[in-house]
């Protein structure tokens, strides 16, 4: 088996700029190299979000004669590692002076475009990025990071779910909200006014669910802040109202992706509705996940986002939530357990899908490295 040789300016490869991760341990054939080490015959230079953010990758490479020579002689290839991020596009091009500088720099070195691999977690990347010579690949950092944290807890998580049966839950819904984006502000205002018992957080309103984070779920030494989840929240409510990072339909810049906001309900046996990109539910179905027509009117999925104050998608979801909130909680309990097979399927499928895709992604990178 050929090695996956990656030169990284940091100690880890698959880590984001907030310190979430890493999950390098999931790659069976990854051999990491850093500055000062003897480099192999063929390898990939990892340009991570941190280098993109600091805009210092050109300076770093320019002062390393070995890297320059290997790029010129096609022994080294470039991975633009944006697997934890969305980028903005306009008419098929990535927006940002840093990208223009990078591609100009590589072009001046004579690096063939097909020796450059651009990865992010936008499922529509192949439709959005129209430079057909540069390789593009979807990979979802948030899903694999959550998988890595929980893969050894899978049996105990399923056991806990089975132990919670026949217990009436106190809350209708759970909705985590951090940054005050327009679609989140609108749904949070609606939920506050609804006077329905639920679990709601919103940082811009100082609505906090956990005053102190339990040691079982969180420690000061754990850098995976966005992946913390208090299972008591999920098991004391019946469904999640997910407010994803991306909502608006932007002409010329197609975005459809899922962050930990979607994956956490799935691994905690929660039905959900999503205030996210158009056709989010369709994409989850395509990936093999179940959605929940027994509870939600899912016709919102193919509605337009509209404007901030006139969104057909949000209007439909609000109306549907009002219908659900009119039900007594014991009826919601019955509906939840009528969907038990679906929530268990989603939980199990999450882990199976991650196991399959991490192997496929590693094979892809090995072929890219050694071709």
- The answer to the question of residue 358 being in a domain is no
C-alpha span between 317 and 297 (Å, rounded): 8
Residue 219 has pLDDT above 70, yes or no: no
Tell me how many domains the chain contains.
Answer: 2
Query: Which pLDDT belongs to residue 212?
Result: 44
- The answer to the question of residue 362 being in a domain is no
Are the C-beta atoms of residues 258 and 244 closer than 8 Å to each other?
yes
Stretch 129-148: mean pLDDT: 86
Range of lowest pLDDT (13-17, 109-113, 261-265, 326-330): 13-17
Kindly state whether residues 117 and 24 are assigned to the same domain: yes
Helix/strand/coil (H/E/C) assignment for every residue in the chain:
CCCEEEEECCCCCCCCCCCCCCCHHHCCCEEEECCCCCCCCCEEEEEEHHHHHHCCHHHHHHCCHHHHHHHHCCCEEEEEEECCCCCCEECCEECCHHHHHHHHHHHHHCCCHHHEEEEECCCCHHHHCCCCCCEEEECCHHHHHHHHHHHHHHHHHHHHHHHCCCCCCCEEEEECCCCCCHHHHHHHHHHHHHCCCEEECEHHHCECCCCCCCCCCCCCCCCCHHHCCCHHHHHCEEEEEEECCCCCCECCECCCCCCHHHHHHHHCCCCEEEECCCCHHHHHHHCCCCCCCCCCCHHHHHCCCCECCECHHHHHHHHHHHHHHCCCHHHHHHHHHHCHHHHHHHHHHHHHHHHHHHHHHHHHHHHHHHC
Kindly state whether residues 160 and 124 are assigned to the same domain: no
Residue 217 has pLDDT above 60, yes or no: no
* β partners of residue 127: none
* Radius of gyration (C-alpha) of the chain in whole angstroms: 22
C-alpha span between 333 and 311 (Å, rounded): 30
Kindly state whether residues 259 and 183 are assigned to the same domain: yes
Dihedral, CA atoms, 309, 310, 311, 315, nearest 10 degrees? 100
- The answer to the question of residue 106 being in a domain is yes
Query: Which pLDDT belongs to residue 334?
Result: 97
Kindly state whether residues 244 and 97 are assigned to the same domain: no
Q: Which residue has the higher pLDDT, 228 or 297?
A: 297
Stretch 242-270: mean pLDDT: 88
Query: Which pLDDT belongs to residue 54?
Result: 75
Kindly state whether residues 167 and 287 are assigned to the same domain: yes
C-alpha span between 320 and 298 (Å, rounded): 9
Query: Which residues have CB under 8 Å from 353's CB, separation 6+?
Result: 287, 288
Residue 96 has pLDDT above 60, yes or no: yes
Where among 117, 139, 161 does a domain terminate?
139
Is the N-terminal amide bond of 22 cis, ω within 30° of 0? Answer: yes
Are the C-beta atoms of residues 287 and 263 closer than 8 Å to each other?
no
- The answer to the question of residue 370 being in a domain is no
Kindly state whether residues 186 and 316 are assigned to the same domain: yes
Kindly state whether residues 127 and 247 are assigned to the same domain: no
C-alpha span between 79 and 82 (Å, rounded): 9
Stretch 330-337: mean pLDDT: 98
- The answer to the question of residue 305 being in a domain is yes
Where among 104, 139, 174 does a domain terminate?
139
Residue 220 has pLDDT above 70, yes or no: no
Instruction: For residue 25, give its domain range.
Output: 4-139
Kindly state whether residues 105 and 222 are assigned to the same domain: no
Residue 225 has pLDDT above 60, yes or no: no
Residue 5 has pLDDT above 90, yes or no: yes
Kindly state whether residues 104 and 36 are assigned to the same domain: yes
- The answer to the question of residue 364 being in a domain is no
Stretch 107-120: mean pLDDT: 90
Tokens 């193919």 correspond to 302
C-alpha span between 304 and 247 (Å, rounded): 10
Residue 370 has pLDDT above 90, yes or no: yes
Where among 139, 160, 176 does a domain terminate?
139
**For 308-324, how does the pLDDT look when each residue is reduced to its tens digit (9 = 90+)?**
668 999 999 999 999 99
Kindly state whether residues 229 and 344 are assigned to the same domain: yes
- The answer to the question of residue 88 being in a domain is yes
Residue 17 has pLDDT above 80, yes or no: no
Q: How do beta strands 89-90 and 30-33 pair?
A: unpaired
Nearest to 324 by CA among 363, 357, 294, 354: 294
Residue 301 has pLDDT above 80, yes or no: yes
- The answer to the question of residue 341 being in a domain is yes
Q: Which residue has the higher pLDDT, 2 or 359?
A: 359
* β partners of residue 119: 81, 137
Kindly state whether residues 339 and 279 are assigned to the same domain: yes
Phi, psi of 36 (to 5 degrees): 95, -15
Query: Which pLDDT belongs to residue 117?
Result: 94
Which residues in 82-105 are b (16+ Cβ under 10 Å) and which e? bbbbbbebeeebbeeebbeebbee
Kindly state whether residues 162 and 103 are assigned to the same domain: no
């Amino acid at each position: 088996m050929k090695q996956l040789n990656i030169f990284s300016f940091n100690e880890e490869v698959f880590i984001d700029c907030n310190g979430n991760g890493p999950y390098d341990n999931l790659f069976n054939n990854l051999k990491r190299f850093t500055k000062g080490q003897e480099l192999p015959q063929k390898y990939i230079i990892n340009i991570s979000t941190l280098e993109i953010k600091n805009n210092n990758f050109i300076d770093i490479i320019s002062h390393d004669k070995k890297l320059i020579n290997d790029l010129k002689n096609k022994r080294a290839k470039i991975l633009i590692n944006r697997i934890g991020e969305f980028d903005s596009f306009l008419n098929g091009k990535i927006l940002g002076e840093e990208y223009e500088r990078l591609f100009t720099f590589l072009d001046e070195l004579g690096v063939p475009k097909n020796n450059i691999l651009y990865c992010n977690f936008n499922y529509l990347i192949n439709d959005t990025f129209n430079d057909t010579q540069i390789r593009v690949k979807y990979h979802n950092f948030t899903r694999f990071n959550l998988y890595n944290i929980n893969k050894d807890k899978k049996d105990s998580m399923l056991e806990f779910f089975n132990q919670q049966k026949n217990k009436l839950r106190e809350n209708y819904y759970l909705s985590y909200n951090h940054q005050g984006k327009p679609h989140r502000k609108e749904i949070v205002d609606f939920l506050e006014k609804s006077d329905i018992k639920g679990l709601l957080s919103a940082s811009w309103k100082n609505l906090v669910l956990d005053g102190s984070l339990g040691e079982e779920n969180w420690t000061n030494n754990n850098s995976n802040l966005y992946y913390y989840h208090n299972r008591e929240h999920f098991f004391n409510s019946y469904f999640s109202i997910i407010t994803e990072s991306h909502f608006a339909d932007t002409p010329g810049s197609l975005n459809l992706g899922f962050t930990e906001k979607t994956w956490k309900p799935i691994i905690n046996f929660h039905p959900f509705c999503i205030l996210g990109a158009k056709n989010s539910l369709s994409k989850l179905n395509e990936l093999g996940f179940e959605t929940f027509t027994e509870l939600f009117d899912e016709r919102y999925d193919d509605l337009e986002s509209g404007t901030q104050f006139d969104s057909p998608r949000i209007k439909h979801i609000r109306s549907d939530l009002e219908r659900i909130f009119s039900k007594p909680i014991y009826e919601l309990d019955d509906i939840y357990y009528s969907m038990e097979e679906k929530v268990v399927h989603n939980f199990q499928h999450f882990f199976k899908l991650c196991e399959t895709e991490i192997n496929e992604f590693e094979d892809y990178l090995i072929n890219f490295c050694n071709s």
